[in-house]
Amino acid sequence: MQYIPNIVFLIALIAGIGYFTKNIRKIIRNIKLGQEVDASNQKAERWGNVVRIALGQSKMVVRPVSGLLHIIVYVGFIVINIEVLEIIIDGLFGTHRVLSGMGVVYDYLIATFEILALLVLVGVILFWTRRNIQKIRRFWAREMTEWPKNDANYILYFEMVLMVLFLTMNAADLQLQRIGAAHYTQAGMFPVSQYIVPLLEGFSESTLILIERTAWWLHILGILVFLNYLYFSKHLHIILAFPNVYFGKVVPKGKFKNLESVTNEVKLMMDPNADPFAAPAEGTEAPAKFGASDVMDLNRIQLLNAYTCTECGRCTSECPANLTGKKLSPRKIMMDTRDRLEEVGKNINANGEFKPDGKQLLDDYILREELWACTTCNACVEACPVSIDPLSIIMDMRQYLVMEQSAAPNELNVAMTNIENNGAPWPYNQMDRLNWKNE
């Protein structure tokens, strides 16, 4: 009978980690539906970005209030969960505070955990206030429908409860240490939970043990539930931000990619000595499809971007098209891409392979009006705290519209025609361009 809690803990641990692993494998499979892309260059710069942007949160603090709060919650949650190691050992082997043998180091660790837990709790409450009472505009845009809004709050509630359980567990433990309960050895410093202890005075030893054990079990089970909730939540960025930043763009933001096949065709047209009937050089054949109309046409980094998006709305709040009332929202571009990718993934789960469903990312999720509203200013890319690039998806879908469907807006077609005929986007003959000088 004494081993039943350990067995139950082992089952919960295996189930939690197993389900999490299963869902991560789905994400990896879905990302691999995209086109391969070579990101093996500039490794030193990529690792530097991981340290500076993902680990150092350098782009978060551009907005000092939310940035500072995020750093507090981020650091606190990561450091506090170091104690999960001790909880796992205790749960598997029936020990209690197994790391207390570290002596004074352990005391200061517990004290640090408690101070950070209080800071996290305060930070999360302020985040909830900003979102639900102050109602920051970017959290209430049209794409922030019921689920995205609720999802953000669910995460905040999760974090509040986990911190309260942690402090309650410690408070009950401290009181049990003070009354000399068996199995509760003197260990740890409790600068925060000691103020909860007066609420527990007068309880019997058995009641205190019940409170401590209940908080302990709910805390670790809550962490496992939280871990598995990430798959369904925008907070998947907790895990994916690091690889996403590593694979982020390391060329100047204003530089657009060229299709080698198109570049070679232009060079051929401009070379009077070229043989138009010569076979193309190896590796320069035109792709089967220009641009992207569905998620399978995008590359793997773009799909990773979609899963990493935390829906913070910094990109949309900086977008000049959105600020002037256009339908374009870079955040919605990423949310739509992720939703379509998840739909494709469910299709594969049901059929063993993707069966055409009569839908695609273009038109069914992202409207052409949104795509053509983009000014390609890169404000969204610059604003993203985790190096997501909505513009690359917009440009790939525009390329599909122009090169596959000849569906550019009339204004763009007129400008292109003028460039072809007049060498400039304006409807003036080249001979008349400088007439304004004589006026």
Q: How far apart are CA 335 and CA 436, in angstroms?
A: 49
Q: What pLDDT does residue 422 have?
A: 81
Q: Return phi, psi of residue 49, to 5°.
A: -65, -40
Q: What pLDDT does residue 74 have?
A: 87
Q: Which two tokens stand for residue 386?
A: 């985790």
Nearest to 314 by CA among 59, 127, 142: 59
* Strand extents, DSSP E, 21-89: none
Q: What is the CATH number of domain 260-422?
A: 1.10.1060
Q: What pLDDT does residue 50 have?
A: 95
Whether the CB-CB separation of 76 and 116 falls below 8 Å is answered with yes
Q: What pLDDT does residue 425 have?
A: 83
Q: How far apart are CA 145 and CA 128, in angstroms?
A: 17
Rg (CA), the chain: 28
299 three-state secondary structure: strand
Q: Return phi, psi of residue 299, to 5°.
A: -90, 170
Q: How far apart are CA 70 and CA 52, in angstroms?
A: 15
CA 122 to chain centre: 23
Q: What angle do CA 22, 26, 27 make, to 5 degrees?
A: 120
Q: What pLDDT does residue 314 have?
A: 94
Sorted by sequence, the CB contacts under 8 Å of residue 99 that are 6+ apart come out as: 85, 86, 89, 106, 109
Q: Which two tokens stand for residue 153?
A: 């709050």
Q: What pLDDT does residue 3 have?
A: 78
Sorted by sequence, the CB contacts under 8 Å of residue 437 that are 6+ apart come out as: none
Q: What pLDDT does residue 276 have?
A: 66
Q: Return phi, psi of residue 384, to 5°.
A: -65, 130
Q: What pLDDT does residue 166 have?
A: 93
Per residue in 59-86, pLDDT (tens digit) is 998 998 888 989 988 888 788 878 888 8
Q: What pLDDT does residue 261 have?
A: 72
Whether the CB-CB separation of 220 and 169 falls below 8 Å is answered with no
Q: In the chain, which residues have pLDDT < 50?
A: none
CA 435 to chain centre: 54
Q: Supply the DSSP string of 366-424, one letter for each residue.
A: B-HHHHHH-----HHHHH-TT---HHHHHHHHHHHHHHTT----HHHHHHHHHHHHHSS
Q: How far apart are CA 269 and CA 37, in angstroms?
A: 29
